[in-house]
Amino acid sequence: MKSHTIELPRPQVAADQLGFFRFGDIAGRVLLTNDAGEWHFLGREDFAALVAGTLPAEHPERPTLLAKGFLRSELDLDALSERIRRKKSFLGNGPHLHVVITTLRCNQDCRYCHASRTDMDQVQTDMSLETAKKVVDLAMQSTSNYVAFEYQGGEPTVNMDVIKFCVEYSREKNRYEGKTLDHSVVTNFTYMTEEHAEWLLANDVLVCTSLDGPEELHNYNRTWRSGSDAYGSVREWMAYFNRRWIELGRDPHLWHVDALTTLTRRSLEQWKDIVDLYVGLGIRSVHLRPLNPFGFASKTWDQIGYSTDEYLAMYEEALDYIIDLNKAGTTIIEGTAAVLLKKMLTPDDPNYVDIRSPVGSGTGQVAYNYDGTILPSDEGRMIHAMGDPMFVLGQVGSTSYSEIVGHPTVKSMAVASLLDSLPGCSSCWNAPYCGVRPLHNYRQTGDLFAQRPNTPKCAEHMTIARLLFERLAEDTTGEVEAIFRRWTVQRPRVRDED
């Protein structure tokens, strides 16, 4: 039988002349990226000549293409492999972030609460000192040389005794382990006292809070059960800590209260007010975080939720406004952009556990519920609190460190988030800078893998990366790139014992 197949002409590809790269269309130009995180823009005609092997030897782009590993001729394979190894160095570290849920008790009724909070009289949801000791013993077994304990709740300071114990006990153990330790508390500041504050200051515990915007918006999002002014409490204690760190001789650019904002539908309408508030308070970073489909937020989504497209339309406006503020001399960073820019503009990966390949759930972070239940992340804890035990990895005191990192669920999440092997991701130009969230996929579709191009996180990461590259492509003076490079600079906090 005569074939009816129509053979179409294929472009000539000089495969033997090309290094491995991915490519995409950005701002009317072709963006090349590779596994070392290198990237380069070419005009369409130059790209066609590169692929066909007809790019002239004297072409001004050739030296840069060669140096970045896009050409095979004279390629320094050892140097390229070293760059890739450096980018992926987190793979051999082990869990560095250890989230400790000191209590589920909380005195706020946040409209978007992702956690499984309980009333203030539910003391049975406090972590015991016995459980806390087992948590620290297990966390300190991590193969990571850097271990960060992050205390969450509920409102974690309601069980201040556990925070004090974990800080002191881990530091005592560290006399023999020799790790770099960090401790931070994520607090709403509604239960803070001067005694607690002074202990946190004296013990170099980092402090993070939620500041959702101006007073009316913050109090709408984060209602205080007593009817008191939650916004006023946050502002008061932020000022207290920041003043005391200065009095203690600390660099205020490094030692300050970090603030997070979570965006509800009402927040999208007030994004500029949020940014202006952060600028006015001297806060140098605003992380414009979308809602997560967990916990109470899933029940109130019709009132506070929004589409991914609505969020990203807001994000683009806010990003450009923040860039303009920087051009005018005001230093302010957008958090998600800063994470991606560190991947794009530096030789290192920031090891942000939610945006990496594979994801850090169980391999970069571990969460410990108040009762000692071990989970791969705080999102896993939220899913467990909603009645699904899918992400339970074990129990402190009976589950070993090797059983946690080698748990079948942890392995499944690693496979489900390894971009090199995922259809659609392995060939995507954004693969060196992206990361998928199996827990989000599972919550929204019942499938760890899902269909990545149809997931909100894919749309979010792709769009933000595209926006950043578009701004770089259109940057004829180098001013935007200079701003972006400043966003990647992270100086370490120095402590007295250092």
Pair (334, 477) in one structural domain: no
pLDDT digits (tens, 9 = 90+) for 360-385: 999 999 999 999 999 999 889 989 98
Q: Could you tell me what percent of the chain has a pLDDT over 90?
A: 81
Write out the residue range of the structural domain in which residue 477 sits: 412-484
Please indicate, yes or no, if residue 440 is contained in any of the structural domains.
yes
Final residue of a domain: which of 56, 87, 118?
87
Lowest mean pLDDT among 31-35, 41-45, 74-78, 431-435: 74-78
Final residue of a domain: which of 369, 395, 421?
395
**pLDDT for the residue 461:** 95
The total domain count for the chain is 3
Residue 496, pLDDT > 60, answer no
**pLDDT for the residue 119:** 85
Task: Give me the helices (H) in 53-202, please.
Answer: 62-67, 77-87, 129-139, 160-177, 194-202
Pair (81, 99) in one structural domain: no
Amino acid letter, residue 251: D
**pLDDT for the residue 117:** 79
Please indicate, yes or no, if residue 9 is contained in any of the structural domains.
no
Residue 351 sits in a domain whose CATH number is 3.20.20.70
**pLDDT for the residue 2:** 47
Pair (186, 77) in one structural domain: no
Pair (350, 434) in one structural domain: no
Please indicate, yes or no, if residue 166 is contained in any of the structural domains.
yes
Return d(Cα 257, Cα 243) in angstroms, integer: 10
Residue 5, pLDDT > 80, answer no
Please indicate, yes or no, if residue 490 is contained in any of the structural domains.
no
Q: What's the pTM?
A: 0.93
Which pair of structure tokens corresponds to residue 121?
A: 């009289």
Return d(Cα 412, Cα 393) in angstroms, integer: 12
In 3-state terms the chain splits into helix, strand, coil percentages (rounded to 5) of: 45, 15, 40
Please indicate, yes or no, if residue 8 is contained in any of the structural domains.
no
**pLDDT for the residue 114:** 62
**Which of residues 457 and 392 earns the better pLDDT score?**
392
Please indicate, yes or no, if residue 135 is contained in any of the structural domains.
yes
Pair (142, 251) in one structural domain: yes
Pair (149, 31) in one structural domain: no
How many CB atoms neighbour CB 412 within 10 A? Answer: 16
**pLDDT for the residue 301:** 77
Pair (228, 166) in one structural domain: yes
How many CB atoms neighbour CB 410 within 10 A? Answer: 22
Q: What is the mean pLDDT of the chain?
A: 92
Taking residues 69-85, what's their average pLDDT?
93
**pLDDT for the residue 498:** 47
Pair (440, 385) in one structural domain: no
Taking residues 477-495, what's their average pLDDT?
88
pLDDT digits (tens, 9 = 90+) for 430-463: 999 999 999 989 988 899 998 878 888 999 999 9
Pair (472, 369) in one structural domain: no
Pair (270, 168) in one structural domain: yes
> What are the phi and psi torsion angles at 27 (to 5°)?
55, 40
